[in-house]
Amino acid sequence: AVVSTQSGHYGRDTSEVLPTLARSTGVSLCSTVARIASILSPFVIILNQISGSLIYFISFACILTSMSLMKSIPETLNKQLPNSVAECEVLFHGKQKVESV
């Protein structure tokens, strides 16, 4: 029951964060990464047998990586969220893309 509940929240929350035109690609990418992580999770037992502290070092490295990546995300408080990839580029890079006719 807990897994199915978490799966429902995962799909809802992931799709709300992504822009409309990139939503299906983003959700499928997040789903693929989650499935790869669930495939690799049984190997935690093997890591614990090799070294008890190795799991903590890997977890700490993942936390530091995610914290450093979150620094590159722009602030969206009180801003209109983008609906296209071009609007995302303006939000992330701050420059208007000139389209050729």
d(CA 89, CA 96): 8
pLDDT at 1 over 50: no
Residue 44 has pLDDT above 70, yes or no: yes
More confident residue, 97 or 44: 44
Span 62-101, pLDDT tens digits: 889 988 988 887 777 787 777 777 877 777 776 665 554 4
Q: How far is 22 from 15, CA to CA, in rounded Å?
A: 10
Instruction: Give the pLDDT score at 52.
Output: 81
CA 93 to chain centre: 19
Q: Which residue is it, tokens 């209109």?
A: 80
Q: What mean pLDDT comes out for the span 32-51?
A: 84
pTM of structure: 0.53
CA distance linking residue 83 with residue 18, whole number of Å: 9
| Residue carrying the six token digits 């420059």 | 95
